[in-house]
Amino acid sequence: MELDFGCYVNYIVELGFSMARKTRSQEVIEKIKDQVIEEAMQLILEAGFNNMSLRKLANRVGMSPTHILLLCQQG
């Protein structure tokens, strides 16, 4: 049985829904970076530098490790 998703896509478009996310402003990006850095420093103070990991930081701030890396690449 073949499914036709075309009608569903048209319905969603007609309702005005979009799968695309809005782009964050540079100000918001900087605030997020500052929060991540603050949490990273706190994690190092609590667990020690040798026990710090990107995965632990990501869990702590509620982001994926990849998202943190991409965030750091955004100048």
The owner of tokens 């706190």 is 42
Let me know if residue 5 belongs to a domain. Answer: no
Cα 4 from chain centroid? Answer: 32
Q: pLDDT tens digits, residue range 17-74?
A: 556 667 778 898 899 999 999 999 999 999 999 999 999 999 999 999 999 998 888 7
Let me know if residue 15 belongs to a domain. Answer: no
> 69 lies in which domain range?
23-73
Let me know if residue 3 belongs to a domain. Answer: no
pTM of the full structure = 0.66
Let me know if residue 17 belongs to a domain. Answer: no
In this structure, what CATH number is given to the domain that contains residue 28?
1.10.10
